[in-house]
Structure 1
Amino acid sequence: MNATDLRFSAIQRLLHWLMAIGILVMLFIGVGMVSTIRPAHLWLVSIHKPLGILILVLALVRLAVRFVKGAPPLPVTMPPLMKFAARLSHLAFYLLMIGLPLLGWSMLSAADYPVVVAGVRLPSIAPHSNVLHSSLWNAHRFLALLFFALIVVHLAAALFHALIRRDGVFEAMAPWRDRVPSVPADRGLVPEKTAGRH
């Protein structure tokens, strides 16, 4: 195993950090949308909708790349419960990164609001219904709050691995070209294709 086997590929790291920025911007825009009146509200909505579609596309691309590239191995010394939590959070991230934009798109479709990306109006993916729109809006809001909480936990876990355990988990997705030991003593030798890190 060489140093590159202990890190995610360059495209995976690029997608991770691009999406991290986009998702944080998206969440803060969402907060602004529900607490701001016009005209700022309309301006935020005009950014929120295409950004959501962009995140959806990037998430699908990232998922495809993950299936092809796999993931570096988790440290052998990582407790089983921690590995389980990592895999569970990984699954939750993908479900929310894909599900939230689809939910928002459905919500807008139910309200008969257009979703325009690069000048192209996307088709509706839900029937027009005020009741459905209200239900989807509540679900979208709840899951967005859940996503924010998951991001906070993810950030705390990243800092824990970087500053306390120092087991190479953080470095595997770090954007900089840092020197990574070729074979750390506590890293497995077989990459985990579905490991709970992203």
Structure 2
Amino acid sequence: MTATVDQVRETLIAVHRPLGIAILILALLRIAVRLVQGAPELPAGMPEPMKLAAKLSHLAFYGLMIAMPIIGWAMMSAADYPIVLFGAVHLPPIVSPSRELHAALWTAHAGLALCFFALILLHLAAALFHALVRRDGVFQQMAGGRAPAE
């Protein structure tokens, strides 16, 4: 997105900001639901290291979906750039303007985006592993089907 120099870049950025805030809100709502309802049970036959990896990957997803929008918001605030959600609705700045802070937050935001992409690929690989190799019902549960049989 940042390598684009024509009008497409402005459109991408205009979509990117409100999408980030929407993801932040939805992630916080999802965490609230998960705290109330709990997480689905993993199959009893799943090895403990796989169960731990599943739990840690979900924690990483939630952490990234909260951290990245907040860092992006702070990054734009540090650049003294208004964050327009839509029309006249702007987010207030959350940090004081600072070139150095902006640069550090930009690096963090970009680095976390790469981590998020890698985590998505890893999650996809794990889903395919459960669907094609283990055939333990985890993929069906992830896809919105019924819970795996014990």
Q: Distance in 1 between matches of 2:29 and 2:40?
A: 19
Alignment partner of 1:70 is 2:38: yes
Shift, 1:118, TM fit: 2.9
Match of residue 116 from structure 1: 84
Distance 1:104 1:46 in 2: 13
Asked whether 1:50 is paired with 2:18, we answer yes
Whole-Å Cα distance in 2 between the matches of residues 38 and 130 of structure 1? 24
C-alpha distance in 2 between matches for 1:144 and 1:69: 29
* Aligned partner of 1:148 among 89, 110, 117: 117
Distance 2:35 2:140 in 1: 21
| Aligned residue pair count | 149
Question: Aligned with 1:55: secondary structure?
Answer: helix
CA distance in structure 2 between the aligned counterparts of 1:72 and 1:87, rounded to whole angstroms = 11
The answer on 1:59 being equivalent to 2:23 is no
Shift of 1:149: 0.4
Please give the alpha-carbon distance, in whole angstroms, between the structure 2 residues aligned to 1:155 and 1:65.
Answer: 23
Q: Whole-Å Cα distance in 2 between the matches of residues 118 and 108 of structure 1?
A: 16
Are 1:170 and 2:139 an aligned pair?
yes
Matched position secondary structure for 2:122: helix
Q: Distance in 2 between matches of 1:86 and 1:172?
A: 14
CA RMSD of aligned residues (A): 1.4
Normalising by structure 1, we get a TM-score of: 0.72
Rounded Cα–Cα distance in structure 2 between residues aligned with 1:166 and 1:126? 49
Any gaps of 5 or more consecutive residues in structure 1?
1-32, 188-198
Q: Which amino acid aligns with 1:169?
A: V
Following superposition of structure 1 onto structure 2, how do residues 1-198 of structure 1 map, counting pairs within 5 Å? Answer: 33-119=1-87, 120-175=89-144, 178=145, 180=146, 184=149, 187=150
Q: Hey, which bits of structure 1, 4+ residues long, moved more than 3 A?
A: none
Q: Using structure 2 for the length normalisation, give the TM-score.
A: 0.94
**Greater RCO (CA < 8 Å, at least 6 residues apart):** 1
Q: Which runs of 5+ in 2 are unaligned?
A: none
Supply the distance in 2 between the matched residues of 1:157 and 1:123 (Cα, whole angstroms).
39
Displacement after TM superposition at 1:168 (Å): 1.5
What SS does structure 2 have at the residue aligned with 1:159? helix
Measured in 2, the distance between the counterparts of 1:56 and 1:71 equals 20
How far residue 116 of structure 1 moved from its aligned partner, in angstroms, is 1.5
Q: Helix, strand or coil for the counterpart of 2:2? A: helix
Distance 1:39 1:114 in 2: 18
Deviation at 1:173, TM superposition (A): 2.3
